Amino acid sequence: MKVTDTIKLLKSDDSRRLMASLYGEEGIETNIKRYEELLVSFEKKFPQDEDVLLFSAPGRTEISGNHTDHNHGKVLAGSINLDCVGVAAINGTRTVTIISETYNQNFTIDLDDLKPSEKKAGTIDLTKGLFKGFLEAGHEIGGFDAYITTNVISAAGVSSSASYEMLLCSMINTFFNQGRLTAVDYAHIGKYSENVYWDKSSGLLDQMACAVGGLITIDFKNPSEPKVEKIDFDFASRNHSLIIVNTGKGHADLSEDYSLVPLEMKKVAEFFGKEVCAEITEEQVLLNLNEVREFAGDRSVLRALHFFEENKRVDAEVAALKEGRFEDFLHNITASGNSSWKWLQNCFTNTSYQEQGITVALALTELFLGEKKAGACRIHGGGFAGVIMTMIPNELADEYIAYMEKAMGQGNAYRMSIRPYGAICFEEILKQ
Read off the pLDDT of residues 59-87 as tens digits, 9 standing for 90 and up. Answer: 999 999 999 999 999 999 999 999 999 99
Please report which confidence band the pLDDT of residue 156 belongs to, taking 50, 70 and 90 as the band edges: low
Mean pLDDT of 217-237: 89
pLDDT exceeds cutoff 80 at 32 = yes
Q: pLDDT category, 53, cuts 50, 70, 90?
A: very high
pLDDT at 234: 80
pLDDT above 80: residue 252: no
> How many domains would you assign to the chain?
2
Using pLDDT thresholds of 50, 70 and 90, give the confidence band for residue 155.
Answer: low
- Would you give the DSSP letter of residue 25? G
Check whether residue 227 and residue 285 sit in a common domain.
no
The mean predicted confidence, pLDDT, of the chain is 94
The whole-angstrom separation of Cα 24 and Cα 224 is 34
Are residue 175 and residue 240 in the same domain, yes or no?
no
Q: What is the pLDDT of residues 365-392, one digit of tens each?
A: 999 999 999 999 999 988 898 889 999 9
- What is the average pLDDT across 211-216? 93
Task: Note the pLDDT tens digit of each residue in 105-146.
Answer: 999 999 999 999 999 999 999 999 999 999 999 999 999 999
Query: Across the beta sheet with 387-393, what order do the strands follow?
Result: 376-380, 387-393, 240-246, 413-416
Q: Is it the case that residue 215 has pLDDT exceeding 70?
A: yes
Give the structural domain span for 33: 3-233+419-431
State the pairing for strand pair 105-110/424-425: unpaired
Contact 358, 348 (CB under 8 A): yes
Claim to verify: residue 310 and residue 330 sit in the same structural domain? yes
Residues 334 and 217 in one domain: no
Q: Are strands 144-150 and 95-100 parallel, antiparallel or unpaired?
A: parallel
Give the rounded distance of the alpha carbon of 379 from its chain centre: 14
For residues 200 and 59, membership in a common domain is answered with yes
**Do 92 and 188 lie in a common domain?**
yes
Q: Are residues 246 and 228 in the same domain?
A: no
Say yes or no: 71 and 85 in one domain: yes
3-state secondary structure 298-367: HHHHHHHHHHHHHHHHHHHHHHHHHCCCHHHHHHHHHHHHHHHHHHHCCCCCHHHCCCCHHHHHHHHHHH
Alpha helix stretches (DSSP H) within 234-288: 255-271, 282-287
Under the banding of pLDDT at 50, 70 and 90, the label for residue 345 is very high
**The predicted structure's pLDDT at residue 271:** 98
Q: How many CB atoms neighbour CB 294 within 10 A? A: 10
DSSP H or E run through 134: helix 122-136
pLDDT of residue 367: 98
Query: Model pTM?
Result: 0.87
Within this chain, do residues 424 and 398 fall inside the same structural domain, yes or no? no
pLDDT digits (tens, 9 = 90+) for 396-408: 999 999 999 999 9
279 shares its domain with 199:
no
Mean pLDDT of 23-39: 95
